[in-house]
Chains A and B, each alone.
Chain A
Amino acid sequence: MEQIYKAPPECQTKFTFGSGRDFLRAKVSDLSFRYNPEDRRVLNKVSLPVFDKKITALIGPSGCGKTTLLRCFNRMHDLYNATSYEGDIVLYPEGKNILSSEIDPMEVRMRIGMVFQKPNPFPKTIYENVAYGLKVRGIKKKSFIDEKIEKSLVQAGLWSEVKDRLQAQATALSGGQQQRLCIARALATDPQILLLDEPTSALDPISTAHIEELIVEIKDDVTIVIVTHNLHQAARCADYTSFMYMGDLIEYGPSEQIFTKPQDKRTENYITGRFG
């Protein structure tokens, strides 16, 4: 990894980082967001770094804006009218502000993948689901697609279960399998960042454990930002955690620090279960 996108000094001084050798993948600065010009801000001048090949968790009570923040990363809000961003999310190494109006949201989504709260495979075959991202990119070479499908299904820990039935309908899979398929579908396009929006909230404990293991495994290949309601999940998987409350980012730091020595009273109250 190049030195050029090492964490800029302001991030380094604001937070104490475990290894000090983490590289910056994206930097959110003073990000505010409204769903409607007349509405209040759902996000209020949020700033945080996202480090390369690390897991960053966003936690906080319902309605705190964590999912809204996550959906800013891939300009998902642009699908709906009247939403407005202020501030920026700079993606490294390009150093481009992906929220800028000059950037095509579609190109942002080509680089940043997303997995949703509810497993949402397309009503197509398993093969077609994973191939979808490649096909919309105009890739037609079958050998390349086949190779990618196998690789991403292996990464998502689903290959051994589905390799003999790639032509089966994806919707026939169990919920946990469907969610791993959605992860494979996102991984097939080699995203620079993978956004996970409460990926296990609709799953049973065993499937959840499966997905957690998988998330930790794939962070060697891809930077992950995860929204979760499950504090144990954040503590177990995430390298960095940020606590949000009512649209503000209250505290950010290495997960260990957030969960053992929170600096802010509100963080402490939340993680000890006093509210939220």
Chain B
Amino acid sequence: MADLTAFTSADHPVRKWRKVKDKIIESILFLAALSSVFVTIGIIYILVSESLPFFQHVSFKEFVTEKEWTPMFSEAKFGILPLVVGTFMATLIALTVAIPLGTITAAYLSEYVKPNVREMLKPILEMLAAVPSVVYGYFALLFVTPILQKFLPELGGFSVLSAGIVMGIMIIPYISSLSEDAMRSVPTHLREASAALGSSKFQTTFRVVFPSAFSGISSAYILGISRALGETMVVAIAAGMQPNLSLNPLEPASTITAYIVQVSLGDLPHGSIGFQSIYVAGLTLLIMTLIFNVLGMWIKVRFQEKE
């Protein structure tokens, strides 16, 4: 036991050991934090370095302006547009489902429901997130598509619409859970202020709680967008894997992720230019997701300043 009543000198062994211990712990924490940075850098390095040979065969101009993506044809064409459009279409449909439903669910759970009912509902809702996405894919293909076909007889077996809707259902818990947290953290005194001015619960929820929580809710939306952009299995199974430059949601299409899966499964020989195209596709997706994250951060900061 060190004498706690006396101050030690700088070269005292107890003091030196204390310093060393602190340094070791700090280094471990630093390495842990660094590992994720290295992985990110590594991924970007691989994507960029593997993409460069691709651009020696295909000009960047062709890549962004060509309207067809047919790497498997003998006369292969590499225009990323059909995949980007397919990705956006699927994401848009998913968000059209997920944002309204997720927000309303969050508002209900945060503002309306009694605590005991909420404790029962939340785990059930969160189970939606626990379902493997491959199950969602078959759910879209074998359950949602047939139902849609009853209303839209011209709908084929594979469509962006069906995949998008199911993807929307899949991301509801991400949006509702984060939005609910944001709405519940709005201080009670704001709700009371609103009620005291004679507003109904609905007015309080959508005129005070929702705007006050918007910075948090917008992060929930951004997370939902990122999830939808990167989602693979549902679109790979239910959207048809046919790169198709069309804005018609009833047609089959492919997305960047679905294309990567398709090629990775071995449809194209390793080392061929077609195979390299998956790295370019991956890089494109990374850039798209990055843009949304930056946008999301900007929105978050902007709305936080207002509070």
Residues 124-153 of A contacting B (Cβ, < 8 Å)? 124, 132-133, 135-137
**Is B22 in contact with chain A by the CB < 8 A criterion?**
no
> A120-B189, A122-B190, A122-B193 are known contacts. Are A136 and B199 too (CB-CB below 8 A)?
yes
A114 touches B196 (CB 8 A): yes
With A122-B208, A123-B212, A123-B307: A110-B198 Cβ-Cβ less than 8 Å: yes
**Contacts A76-B192, A136-B203; A122 near B212 (Cβ below 8 A):** yes
B306 within 8 A of A: yes
| Complex Cα gap A81–B306 (Å) | 33
State the Cβ distance, B190 to closest chain A Cβ, in Å. 6
Question: Which residues of chain A are near B192, meaning CB under 8 Å?
Answer: 76, 79, 116, 120
- Determine whether the beta carbon of A81 is less than 8 Å from that of B114: yes
Asked, given contacts A120-B190, A122-B212, A132-B207, whether A76 binds B198 with beta carbons under 8 Å apart, the answer is no
> Which B residues are CB-close (under 8 A) to A132?
194, 197, 199, 207
Closest residue to B193 on the A side, CB-wise?
A120
B200: chain A residues within 8 A (beta carbon): 106, 136
Bound Cα distance A275, B191 (Å): 35
Q: Is A169 at the interface (CB under 8 A from chain B)?
A: yes
A169 adjacent to B306 (CB under 8 Å): yes
Tell me if A182 is interfacial: C-beta within 8 Å of chain B: yes
Beta-carbon contacts under 8 Å, B138-193 to A: 187, 189-193
Give the residue name and chain of the A residue nearest to B305 (CB). A169
User: Which positions 55-78 of chain A face chain B at CB distance < 8 Å?
Assistant: 74, 76
A219 within 8 Å of B by Cβ? no
B197-241 Cβ-contact flags toward A at 8 Å (1 or 0): 111100100011001100000000000000000000000000000
Min CB–CB distance A71 → chain B (angstroms):
9
| B195 at interface by CB-CB < 8 Å | yes
Which residues in A have their C-beta under 8 angstroms from that of B191? 79
Q: Count how many chain B residues have C-beta atoms less than 8 Å from C-beta atoms of the other chain.
A: 21
Q: Which one of B196, B207, B208, B212 contacts A76 once the chains associate, using CB atoms below 8 Å?
A: B196
* Chain B residues near A109 (CB-CB < 8 A): 195-198
Task: Check if A171 is an interface residue, CB within 8 A of chain B.
Answer: yes
Most buried by A among B191, B195, B196, B306: B196
A-B contact count (CB 8 A): 68
A91 and B207 alpha carbons, distance in the complex (Å):
29
Assess the A76–B195 pair: CB atoms within 8 A: yes
In the assembled complex, the CB of B301 is this many whole angstroms from the nearest CB of chain A, namely 15
Knowing A122-B190, A122-B208, A123-B212 touch, does A186 contact B197 (C-beta < 8 A)? yes
Expressed in whole angstroms, the Cα–Cα distance for A97 and B67 within the complex equals: 73
**Do A118 and B197 have beta carbons less than 8 Å apart?**
no
Q: Which residues of A contact B203 (CB under 8 A)?
A: 136
Task: Find out whether the CB atom of B197 lies under 8 angstroms from the CB atom of A189.
Answer: yes
Min CB distance B244 to A, Å, is 45
Query: Residues 153-167 of chain A: 1 if any B CB is under 8 Å from the residue's CB, otherwise 0?
Result: 000000000000000
With A and B bound together, what is the CA distance between A113 and B199 in angstroms? 12
Task: Choose among B197, B200, B306 the residue with the greatest number of A CB atoms under 10 Å from its CB.
Answer: B197
A100–B307 Cα distance when bound, in Å, is: 38
CB A78 to nearest CB in B, in angstroms, measures 9
Interface contact A74-B196, CB-CB below 8 Å = yes
Cα–Cα distance between A114 and B196 once the two chains are bound (Å): 6
Q: CB-CB < 8 A to A136: which residues of B?
A: 194, 197-200, 203, 207
- Chain A residues, Cβ within 8 Å of B198: 106-107, 109-110, 133, 136-137, 189
Cβ of A113: which chain B residues have Cβ within 8 Å of it?
196-197
Please tell me if A180 contacts chain B, counting CB pairs below 8 Å: no
Task: Answer whether residue A185 sits at the interface, using C-beta atoms and an 8 A cutoff.
Answer: yes
Q: Is the CB of B189 within 8 A of A118?
A: yes
- Nearest CB in chain B: distance from A221 CB, A: 18
Which chain B positions have C-beta within 8 A of A76? Answer: 192, 195-196
Within residues 274 to 307 of chain B, which ones have a CB less than 8 A from any CB in chain A?
A: 306-307
Q: How far is the CA of A118 from the CA of B207 in the complex (A)?
A: 21
B307 — which chain A residues lie within 8 A by C-beta?
A: 123, 171
Contact residue among B190, B195, B211 (Cβ-Cβ distance under 8 Å from A79): B195
**B contact residues around A133 at 8 Å (CB):** 197-198
Nearest CB of B to A68, in Å: 14
Nearest chain A CB to B19 CB, angstrom units: 45
Residues in B whose Cβ lies below 8 Å from that of A107: 198
Question: Residue A124 contacts which of B189, B197, B211 (CB distance < 8 angstroms)?
Answer: B211
Give complex CA distance A110, B203 in Å: 14
Shortest beta-carbon distance from B204 to chain A in Å: 9
User: Which residues from chain B contact A81 at a C-beta distance below 8 Å?
Assistant: 114
Complex-state Cα separation, A137 to B194, whole angstroms: 12
Q: Mind listing 9 A-B residue pairs with CB under 8 Å?
A: A76-B196, A79-B191, A106-B198, A122-B194, A122-B208, A136-B194, A136-B203, A185-B193, A189-B197
The 4 closest A-B pairs by CB, nearest first: A110-B198, A114-B196, A133-B197, A136-B199
